[in-house]
Amino acid sequence: MAASMIFHWLLAASLISSVCAADPVSDARAAYETGRYPEAVRLAQAPANAGNAQAQVLMGLMYQHGRGVPADPRKAAEWYQKAAAQGDAAAQNNLGFLYERGAGVPQDFRQAKDWYERAARQGYPFAERNLAVLYETGRGVPHDPAEAFRWYRDAAEQGSRFAQYKLGELFERGSGAPRDLVEAYKWYSLAAAQGYSDSNFARLKLTLQMVREQVAEGARRATEFAPVEQPGLDAPPEPQVPVPNHETEAGR
């Protein structure tokens, strides 16, 4: 009886161990995040070839940045395309970025907008922010301050510091929404708290237009802010996709 119990315990332990070990995508992601890029390539290659979208995104990242493989934006675009076709929001966002920059694919702002929008409609904050930039600048879409405000707001509410800064700007100017200095102060403060340096100066200038009670209210709103979490969206492994002329934030 004891021998039988030991056998079954060993069998269960072996099965658990094999299940835990049989996740090369998680291992590839861990290797990527810790800078072990050749190992990440080795682990991600097979599942990416087999159609795993997360592994395909990792392969895209590594080809985009030349990590573990020679930099090749064309191959990066091919891997992102495979994952994007499966509905992966990070891949859709990153593919949109390549179209916006003309890296590995012909520059096409319309395609950039379409891919950003697919990811943004899944609640992916980096795509929301990138889509907002297009609407603010009129690249690939008509210039539309209200749409820019909408997408910046969605990204800001999920914690994007760049979007929080831009939302402060829009509230200060009354662009895309009624002018509201208290809300502007709130969003500048939130971006500044995350280290977005331009927000400090913007907030300082803003206070010259405000009375003490408005500043206090803006500070109170910033203190009470809690970012919205989108269920089912993985956090990106690193800062990756830049906003033109501003900052670098993440893909996945």
The C-alpha atoms of residue 152 and residue 36 are separated, in whole angstroms, by 34
pLDDT of residue 22: 62
Lowest-confidence segment of 90-94, 107-111, 231-235 by average pLDDT: 231-235
Q: Are 162 and 169 in contact (CB under 8 A)?
A: no
pLDDT of residue 31: 95
Tokens (6 digits) for 24? 């090369």
b/e 20-40 (16+ beta carbons within 10 angstroms → b)? eeeebbebbbebbeeebbebb
Strand partners, 239: 250
- For residue range 25-73, what is the model confidence (pLDDT) as tens digits? 999 999 999 999 999 999 999 999 999 999 999 999 999 999 999 999 9
**Does pLDDT of 139 surpass 80?**
yes
pLDDT of residue 229: 79
Find the mean pLDDT for residues 145-152: 98
pLDDT of residue 111: 97
Tell how far CA 31 is from the center of its chain: 20
**Does pLDDT of 239 surpass 90?**
no
Block residue for tokens 């930099």: 71
Find the mean pLDDT for residues 5-30: 61
**Does pLDDT of 180 surpass 60?**
yes
**Does pLDDT of 15 surpass 70?**
no
- For residue range 196-234, what is the model confidence (pLDDT) as tens digits? 999 999 999 999 999 999 999 999 999 999 999 765 444
**Does pLDDT of 19 surpass 50?**
no
The C-alpha atoms of residue 97 and residue 103 are separated, in whole angstroms, by 8
When mean pLDDT is compared over 4-8, 171-175, 242-246, the highest value belongs to 171-175
Nearest to 27 by CA among 3, 11, 13, 47: 47
Tell me, yes or no, if the pTM score tops 0.75: yes
- Average pLDDT over the chain, rounded to an integer: 88
pLDDT of residue 9: 52
Block residue for tokens 């700007």: 169
Find the mean pLDDT for residues 114-130: 97
**Does pLDDT of 108 surpass 70?**
yes
3-state secondary structure of 41: helix
Name the amino acid, one letter, at 174: G
Percent of all residues in the chain with a pLDDT value above 70, rounded to a whole number: 82
